[in-house]
Amino acid sequence: MTADQTEDAAPPILRLAGVTKTFGPIRAVDAVDLDIRDGEFFTIVGPSGSGKTTLLRMLAGLEKPSAGDILLRGERVNEVPANRRPTAMVFQSLALFQHKTVGQNIEFALKMRGIAQATRRARAHDLMTMLRLPHDYYSRPVTRISGGERQRVALARALASDPAILFFDEPLSAIDYRLRKQLEVELKDLHRETGKTFVYITHSLEEAMVMSDRIGIMRQGRLIQIGTPDEIYTRPLNKFVSEFMGEVNVLEVEQGGDGALHAREVARALKGPKLPDGATRGHLVIRPEALRFLGSGETADNVLEGELYNEYALGSRVQYHVKIGARMFVVERLREQRAAAAPGTTVTVGWNAADSIIVPD
Amino acid sequence: MGGGCREPAVRVGCDGASGGELVMVVVAKPLTRRLIIAWTACVVAFLYIPIVCVFLVSFHKARYFSFPFSDFTLDWYGKAFSSLQTQELMLVSLKVAGVVTAISVVLALFGALAFARFNWRGRKLFQRLLLLPIFFPQAVLGLALLIWLTFLGVLPSWQSAVFAHLVWIAPIVTLVVSIQVYGYDAAQEEAAFDLGATRLQVLREVTLPALAPGLVSGALFAFLLSWGNFPLSFFTTGADSTVPEWLYTRMVAGYTPLVPTMGALIVIGATIMLVLGYALIVLRRRRANSHG
């Protein structure tokens, strides 16, 4: 499940072959192979320290690989510095030029290419229209606009020179939830409108799911799984990936001779998918939304009794913590399917074997 | 002093120039306000009356200090500008202050960048060692430098005074510039580089303009501290003499009415520099705000 096995008609815009970056004894990026297709929205997801920022900086030309090759449209660009690559980066801090106006920021790349003032200005106005920035912001200092507007100025500035690839270094990480959700949608729409290749990094798989065509999961300098959001969601490679998705119920299980699964924390034998051939233990992953409360007469493949510990309203959904044996289970239901029981009472929880998956460590 | 923001009792961010920072200003009651005004007037008088006296004396026709003042004249200013000796004095002061300013701003820029951006071994220790000369009595520092220069076989002149001034002034300028550097996101430089700028363009388009306010204040500090310095110059100029040195030697022996005049000229020189520096900052800000 590494790079694409199928030969695409179009060659990849960016090909990474064994790209490695070492800082002293630390392998920040460890032999990454990856093909990024022309025009796709590719997101690299990983916790902090996984090497994703270092990888992105190498792609942008801000850092040189210690080993391996980076090919841009088939040409090796390892030694080409950032200022001579046809790519642009949107930085985590946005890095807008604080002493310049909105217009001067957007036009910067064009000015560096010696393009005439009138042409630059026209281009800046086009970009401002596309990103829905009012034209009278042109002469305003960047310090006097709002956070969301600053994001759009940073995007316009990166787009000004018409780069082949746009890199994003977690630009939404410092933004409050509501604005972030809105900007995620805007970014995906911008990707559609421009048709450019976007390479995005984030520590939030949720954010990656919303926007990406494909996602690469990074851990300890390695890309451990690459796939569409759907593939990552339904077939996570291992426990790490499945837990990265947010709150899930993971039970360490062993398979008995009869095919039943036994978890240490749960007294009853469980029904679930088969472990891979040769394996004796694995992790049973049950999503919070796969669990439901069973009334009298209702049944499921697995039925457990526990104490409803607490409930948390999440807008359209409600989350419950249910204590079963020594273990807290997370259950998520739509608001209209909420539990009739109050915290402290005993409830019956069930799920079907087909709604759970088995992953290795 | 109490003026500016009056209506509400408590106001946040009333100072328009402070741009975004939160400043809590509590408006005082009438009696408190009167006391504040009286106190402020006392402080201002205490600080400025001596300098005003020097100015008054510099216009005084008589050869010696006397009170009350009788006739006023501009003769001494005419003499100060026409005398070859005083011209030479001002030239030496100007040369020393100019060279000290140029060198200390460059040292401060790179020093401040190194402190703010990189974490290297011994950084903290170096920072303390660098600041230590500020706390030495300047006379002791001057003497130490003179002994060292003699030991090295360097003939003291205005150039060695430049060196002496730098020992004391460069750390102060580094501190002033550091404040600006700490509040500056260095990712702006990477962004400029990523957008196609060469290293030189990054310096010209991003680093220098972003740090300009700090560099201007640093340069002002350097110039003014060097321009008015006496103890370090006294030990290290050798045969050359700066205006403050000349003032001292003339007071000790051979007083002339040019003394208060030259004193007044030093203050005027410093004031001109301050006004120029301030004008530069205001102009920059205005241009940044009205870019079309």
The answer to whether residue A5 is domain-embedded is no
Question: CA A132, CA A193: separation in Å to the nearest integer?
Answer: 13
Strand order through the sheet with A67-72: A26-36, A14-23, A67-72, A75-76
The answer to whether residue B63 is domain-embedded is no
For A65, the token pair is 């690989």
Across the interface, of A89, A92, A111, the residue whose CB is closest to B194 is: A89
Please tell me the least confidently modeled range out of A268-282, A304-318, B21-35.
B21-35
Nearest CA in chain B to A161: B195
Q: What is the pLDDT of residues A145-168, one digit of tens each?
A: 998 899 999 999 999 999 999 999
- Beta carbon pairs, A and B, within 8 Å: 83
Question: CA A131, CA A186: separation in Å to the nearest integer?
Answer: 9
The answer to whether residue A4 is domain-embedded is no
In angstroms, the separation between the Cα of residue B247 and the nearest Cα of chain A is: 44
Whether residues A231 and A271 share a domain: the answer is: no
**What is the pLDDT, as a whole number, of residue B290?**
59
Write the CA distances from A272 to A60, A246, A259, integer angstroms.
45, 21, 9
Question: Would you list which residues of chain B are within 8 Å, Cβ to Cβ, of chain A?
Answer: 19-20, 184-185, 187-188, 190-198, 201, 205-206, 209-210, 212, 288-292
In angstroms, the separation between the Cα of residue B97 and the nearest Cα of chain A is: 29
Whether residues A111 and A198 share a domain: the answer is: yes
Whether residues B182 and B132 share a domain: the answer is: yes
Within 8 A of B185 by CB-CB distance, chain A residues are 93, 95, 98
Whether residues A224 and A269 share a domain: the answer is: no
User: Which CATH number belongs to the domain containing residue A36 in this structure?
Assistant: 3.40.50.300
Whether residues A155 and A41 share a domain: the answer is: yes
Whether residues A110 and A189 share a domain: the answer is: yes
Please give the tally of structural domains in chain B: 2
Whether residues B103 and B30 share a domain: the answer is: no
Whether residues B44 and B187 share a domain: the answer is: no
Whether residues A156 and A98 share a domain: the answer is: yes
**What is the pLDDT, as a whole number, of residue A326?**
82
Instruction: Of B217, B226, B271, B221, give the one whose Cα is nearest residue B244.
Output: B226
Whether residues B209 and B175 share a domain: the answer is: yes
In angstroms, the separation between the Cα of residue A88 and the nearest Cα of chain B is: 6
Whether residues B53 and B103 share a domain: the answer is: no
Please give the tally of structural domains in chain A: 2
In angstroms, the separation between the Cα of residue B287 and the nearest Cα of chain A is: 10
Indicate the length of chain B as a whole number: 292
Please tell me the least confidently modeled range out of A51-55, A181-185, A265-269.
A265-269
pLDDT band of A139, cuts 50, 70, 90: very high
Q: What is the pLDDT of residues A188-243, one digit of tens each?
A: 999 999 999 999 999 988 889 999 999 999 999 999 999 999 999 888 888 888 88
The answer to whether residue B172 is domain-embedded is yes
Whether residues B85 and B54 share a domain: the answer is: no
The answer to whether residue A201 is domain-embedded is yes
Whether residues B213 and B269 share a domain: the answer is: yes
Question: CA B286, CA B7: separation in Å to the nearest integer?
Answer: 28
Check B206 against A88: CB less than 8 A apart. no
The answer to whether residue B98 is domain-embedded is yes
Which of A98, A117, A199 is the best residue to mutate to test the B interface, defined by the most B CB atoms within 10 Å of its own CB? A98
- Supply the range of the domain harboring residue B45: 10-58
Whether residues A83 and A60 share a domain: the answer is: yes
Contact of B84 with B269, CB cutoff 8 Å: no
List helix spans (H) across chain B.
30-58, 75-82, 84-117, 123-135, 138-152, 158-182, 187-194, 199-202, 208-227, 231-236, 243-252, 258-289
Cβ neighbors of A57 (< 8 A, separation 6 or more) are: A63, A169
For B192, the token pair is 């400029």
- Supply the range of the domain harboring residue A144: 14-236
Across the interface, of B20, B188, B201, the residue whose CB is closest to A112 is: B201
Average pLDDT, chain A: 90
Check B206 against A97: CB less than 8 A apart. yes
Whether residues B119 and B178 share a domain: the answer is: yes
DSSP string, A288-344: GGG-EE--TT---SEEEEEEEEEEEEETTEEEEEEEETTEEEEEEEEGGG--SSPTT
Residue of A245 and B51 predicted with greater confidence: B51
Whether residues B40 and B168 share a domain: the answer is: no
Structural domain ending residue among the three candidates A202, A236, A270: A236
Contact of A21 with A51, CB cutoff 8 Å: yes
DSSP string, A243-283: HHTSS-EEEEEEE-TTS-EEETT-SS-B--PPPPTT-SEEE
Whether residues A206 and A67 share a domain: the answer is: yes
Check B195 against A83: CB less than 8 A apart. yes
The answer to whether residue B158 is domain-embedded is yes
Whether residues A163 and A296 share a domain: the answer is: no
Structural domain ending residue among the three candidates A175, A206, A236: A236
Q: What is the pLDDT of residues B65-120, one digit of tens each?
A: 666 767 788 888 888 888 888 889 999 999 999 999 999 999 999 988 888 778 88
Instruction: Of B165, B155, B174, B170, give the one whose Cα is nearest residue B115.
Output: B174
Whether residues B161 and B249 share a domain: the answer is: yes
Whether residues B17 and B111 share a domain: the answer is: no
Whether residues B140 and B283 share a domain: the answer is: yes
Question: CA A291, CA A300: separation in Å to the nearest integer?
Answer: 10
User: Which CATH number belongs to the domain containing residue B136 in this structure?
Assistant: 1.10.3720.10
The answer to whether residue B122 is domain-embedded is yes
Whether residues A231 and A251 share a domain: the answer is: no
Low-confidence ranges of chain B (pLDDT < 50): 1-21, 291-292
The answer to whether residue B275 is domain-embedded is yes
Structural domain ending residue among the three candidates A236, A266, A284: A236
3-class DSSP assignment, residue A165: strand
Q: What is the pLDDT of residues A70-101, one digit of tens each?
A: 999 999 999 999 999 999 999 999 999 999 99
Backbone dihedral region for residue A260 (phi beyond 0: left; psi -120 to 50: alpha; all else: beta) = beta
Whether residues A229 and A255 share a domain: the answer is: no
The answer to whether residue A265 is domain-embedded is yes
Question: CA B126, CA B199: separation in Å to the nearest integer?
Answer: 28
User: Which CATH number belongs to the domain containing residue A300 in this structure?
Assistant: 2.40.50.100
The answer to whether residue B65 is domain-embedded is no
List helix spans (H) across chain A.
52-60, 102-112, 117-130, 147-159, 177-194, 205-211, 229-234, 239-244
Whether residues A278 and A335 share a domain: the answer is: yes
